[in-house]
């Protein structure tokens, strides 16, 4: 009779190499955050941002056996000191005060909160604190290496919440707070926030607008600023400021209906090239699923497979350290299916095969325009620059150089204008032969300074294959001609500044030194933005020429990109500008944001009282009440193209200049 087999505990049995190791809690690679307590935030009348948004995601992940492969991470309320890394004390107090609302209070305040696209409930503060705290814990667990990836299934969402205001279903900016906490408490410093919610994450972009340690990229429905949250902040030219210039990247869809092909093309051409160059330590997805097929609010057509492919691409960054934080998404079926597809990717599955895809014409054009804008800041983004091949480079002349020679000759022959010499080598390399003045500039008491770029070059192509230009059918539209002729006829001196900087071939990019000494032997002047070429030349001209003239009546006119150069001058020479300049004119196109002075209240008030802005009737500024209040007189014109806009607005501009000069002349007479 055989002796009974000795029982060997399972833990001590040798494991065959063909049998995978059993996952233990400490070996989970993916975590998740969830609490049904966040469902207490609800609207008595019903609302698309409903509690079931998170329970449906939780349930579908459980039904598909995803949660059993994920570590449940602790959830807690955000701490006051954490929230204040992004938000003001006033907003913190305002949100927490909601817990004391009665039913009558809620009814009485409904109109106020509707204006902010919010609803409130006594449980709102607790849910909002849990939502923010949950994203913090999800991000910290990845940053500290406890898990490789995590999914924060939270509500209310957060990306619309600005430092001083709750709005758009959002109370605290969950992702922004989490990013700040991670930077503060861990070794992770460079963070990419990818926001694919169908709405622009205005609050998140605002939180990091001047911060180069956080790269914010948003793909959103924009429609010229007419889609929520409205206004120009989500435009492709809204790229950051100060040290954060270039670290805000907006891909603004001009219409509804965008689908997988459009989003994936944007990832291939914009998102991934910039992300690879930035090389983040951590990636956070602001994962709104309201661009999903079936969402009536977003009206787009991204499939679960599309979200899977985007997640897969982002998983290749930061050594795989990825946090998915729920934002919007209001069709319960769509949000559940999309969240499941994303979760399967972070659990290690491959994305499903997509059918043959072709991006829409609107998306392709938008992506190209974004590439043109972002190529100023990122070497990996190159919208097919046309550069002379090496063998003909010694005999090649760029079109800007030809146009400069033509303009210099035209200004001299027609108006007797002379080139203004530039003494700084850095400015000579960028702006030689691009600044001209009338011969009476030093003694004339009325001076118009006009900053602009080249006119519109309209060309007819001989062939779409070779892109050769049919020269006899191509021409230059120069809007400055009418202004110069009028100024000369009125007897005004003119300083004409073409702020188009001479480009270097991308293979020969050199840093631009924006430091120079002024004529009074002061300390070198260091301009704020290393890419502010137009501002550099305007400040130089102000210090070395304009201030030395006899002009007692002075108007600054900016057209297109010249507006930014004019505003840079005003910002950096505020005291002397307010003392000398009688008026400012900005003529901007549909996709450009008219700038305003920052920081100094006196300068902002002076600008408000002495400026006009000319914009198209459909400009998104008319949907931004805050921006409107910063400008003095705003003229709407039924014209969207900047080149035609200034021509159509010329009578009004001329009247403004004459009115300002007449008022200044009267003041001088009274003084004498």
Phi, psi of 347 (to 5 degrees): -85, -5
24, two tokens: 């233990």
Which of these, 347, 313, 324, lies nearest to 152 by C-alpha position? Answer: 324
For residue 33, count CB atoms less than 10 angstroms from its CB and return exposed for 0-12, middle for 13-18, buried for 19 or more.
buried
Provide the CA 444 distance to its chain's centre, in angstroms: 42
- Give the active site residue among 41, 87, 159, 160: 160
Kindly report whether the peptide bond that precedes residue 156 is cis, defined as omega within 30 degrees of 0: yes
Instruction: Determine the Cα–Cα distance for residues 165 and 161; give it in Å rounded to an integer.
Output: 6
> 223 phi and psi, to 5 degrees?
55, 50
DSSP string, 412-434: HHHH--EEPP---HHHHHHHTT-
Task: For the chain, give the number of residues.
Answer: 672
Residue that the structure tokens 């929520």 belong to: 228
Say if residue 63 is exposed, middle or buried (CB neighbours under 10 Å; 0-12, 13-18, 19+).
exposed
Q: Strands (DSSP E) along 309-412, which ranges?
A: 322-326
Contact in structure between 182 and 188 (CB atoms under 8 Å): yes
Distance in angstroms between the alpha carbons of the first and the last residue of the chain: 130
User: Do the beta carbons of residue 335 and residue 289 sit within 8 Å?
Assistant: yes
Residue 398: CB partners within 8 Å, gap ≥ 6?
Answer: 503
Token readout for 389 is: 């091949």
Question: In whole angstroms, what is the distance from residue 209 CA to residue 335 CA?
Answer: 29
**Residue 103 buriedness (CB in 10 A; 0-12 / 13-18 / 19+):** exposed
What is each CA distance from 32 to 29, 62, 133, 153, in whole angstroms? 11, 12, 13, 7
**Coil, strand or helix at 219:** strand
The answer to whether 160 is a known catalytic residue is yes
Helix (H), strand (E) at residue 136:
helix 124-143
Catalytic residues: 160
């Amino acid at each position: 009779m055989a002796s009974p087999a000795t029982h060997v505990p399972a833990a001590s049995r040798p494991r065959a190499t063909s049998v995978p190791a059993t996952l233990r809690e400490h070996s989970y690679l993916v975590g998740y955050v969830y609490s049904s307590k966040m469902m207490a935030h609800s609207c008595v009348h019903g609302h698309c941002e409903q509690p079931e948004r998170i329970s449906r995601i939780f349930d579908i992940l459980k039904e598909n056996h995803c949660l059993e492969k994920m570590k449940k991470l602790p959830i807690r309320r955000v701490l006051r000191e954490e929230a204040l890394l992004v938000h003001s004390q006033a907003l913190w107090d305002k949100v927490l005060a909601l817990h004391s609302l009665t039913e009558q209070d809620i009814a009485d305040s409904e109109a106020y909160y509707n204006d902010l696209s919010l609803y409130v409930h006594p449980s709102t503060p607790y849910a909002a604190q849990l939502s923010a705290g949950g994203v913090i814990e999800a991000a910290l667990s990845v940053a500290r290496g406890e898990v490789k990836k995590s999914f924060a299934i939270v509500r209310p969402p957060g990306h619309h919440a600005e430092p001083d205001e709750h709005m758009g279903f959002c109370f605290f900016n969950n992702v922004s707070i989490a990013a700040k906490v991670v930077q503060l408490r861990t070794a992770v410093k460079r963070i990419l926030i990818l926001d694919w919610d169908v709405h622009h994450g205005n609050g998140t972009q605002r939180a990091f607008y001047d911060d180069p340690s956080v790269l914010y990229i948003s793909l959103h429905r924009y429609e010229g600023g007419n889609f929520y949250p409205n206004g120009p902040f989500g435009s492709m030219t809204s790229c950051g400021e100060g040290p954060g210039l270039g670290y805000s990247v907006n891909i603004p869809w001009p219409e509804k209906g965008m689908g997988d092909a459009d989003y994936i093309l944007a990832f291939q051409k914009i998102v991934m090239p910039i992300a690879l160059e930035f090389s983040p330590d951590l990636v956070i997805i602001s994962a709104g699923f309201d661009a999903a097929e079936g969402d009536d609010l977003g009206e787009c057509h991204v499939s679960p497979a599309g979200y899977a492919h985007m997640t897969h691409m982002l998983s290749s960054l930061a050594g795989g350290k990825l946090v998915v934080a729920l934002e919007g998404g209001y069709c319960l079926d769509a949000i559940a299916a999309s969240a499941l597809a994303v979760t399967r990717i972070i659990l290690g599955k491959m994305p499903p095969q997509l059918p043959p895809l072709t991006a829409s014409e609107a998306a392709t054009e938008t992506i190209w325009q974004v590439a043109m804008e972002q190529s100023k800041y990122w070497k990996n983004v190159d919208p097919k620059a046309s550069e002379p091949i090496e063998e003909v480079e010694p005999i090649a002349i760029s079109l800007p150089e030809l146009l400069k020679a033509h303009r210099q000759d035209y200004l001299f022959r027609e108006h007797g204008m002379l080139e203004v010499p530039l003494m700084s080598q850095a400015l000579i390399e960028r702006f030689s032969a691009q600044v001209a003045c009338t011969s009476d500039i030093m003694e004339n008491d009325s001076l118009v300074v006009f900053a602009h770029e080249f006119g519109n070059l309209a060309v007819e192509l001989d062939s779409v294959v070779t892109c050769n230009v049919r020269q006899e059918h191509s021409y230059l539209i120069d809007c400055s001609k009418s202004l110069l002729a009028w100024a000369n006829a009125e007897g005004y001196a003119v300083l004409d500044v073409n702020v188009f900087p001479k480009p270097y071939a991308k293979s020969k990019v050199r840093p631009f030194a924006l430091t120079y000494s002024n004529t009074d032997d002061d300390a070198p002047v260091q301009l704020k933005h290393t890419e502010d070429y137009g501002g550099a030349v305007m400040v130089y001209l102000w210090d070395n020429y304009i201030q030395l003239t006899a002009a007692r009546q002075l108007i600054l006119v900016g057209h297109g990109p010249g507006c930014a150069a004019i505003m840079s001058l005003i910002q950096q020479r505020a005291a002397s500008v307010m003392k000398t300049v009688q008026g400012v004119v900005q003529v901007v196109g549909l996709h450009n944001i008219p700038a305003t002075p920052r920081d100094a209240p006196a300068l902002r008030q002076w600008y408000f009282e002495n400026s006009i802005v000319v914009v198209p009737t459909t400009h998104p500024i008319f949907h931004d009440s805050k921006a409107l209040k910063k400008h003095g007189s705003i003229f709407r014109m039924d014209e969207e193209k900047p080149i035609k806009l200034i021509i159509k607005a010329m009578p009004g501009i001329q009247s403004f200049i004459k009115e300002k000069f007449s008022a200044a002349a009267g003041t001088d007479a009274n003084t004498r």
